[in-house]
Amino acid sequence: MPQSYDLYFASSNIHKFREAKKILEDFKINLGFFKCELEEIQSHSLLEITKGKALQAFKKCKNPIIVEDDGLSINSLNGFPGPYSSYVFKTIGNKGILKLLNQNRKAKFISIISFHDKKNLEFFESKVYGIISDKIKGKGWGYDPIFIPSESNKTFAQLKNKNELSHRFKALKNFSNWYLGK
Chain-centroid distance, C-alpha 52: 15
> What sign for the dihedral angle of Cα 169, 174, 177, 179?
negative
Share of the chain above pLDDT 90, in %: 84
Reported as a single tens digit per residue, the pLDDT across 3-23 is: 689 999 999 999 899 999 999
Segments of 27-96 assigned E as strands: 31-35, 65-74, 81-82
7-181 maps to CATH 3.90.950.10: yes
Contact 158, 138 (CB under 8 A): yes
Q: How many Å apart are CA 95 and CA 79, to the nearest integer?
A: 18
Q: Rounded to the nearest 10 degrees, how much is the dihedral formed by the CA atoms of 115, 164, 20, 82?
A: 70
Known catalytic residues? 69
**Confidence (pTM):** 0.90
Reported as a single tens digit per residue, the pLDDT across 165-179 is: 899 999 999 999 999
* Sequence ranges of the domains in the chain: 7-181
Q: How many Å apart are CA 145 and CA 47, to the nearest integer?
A: 25
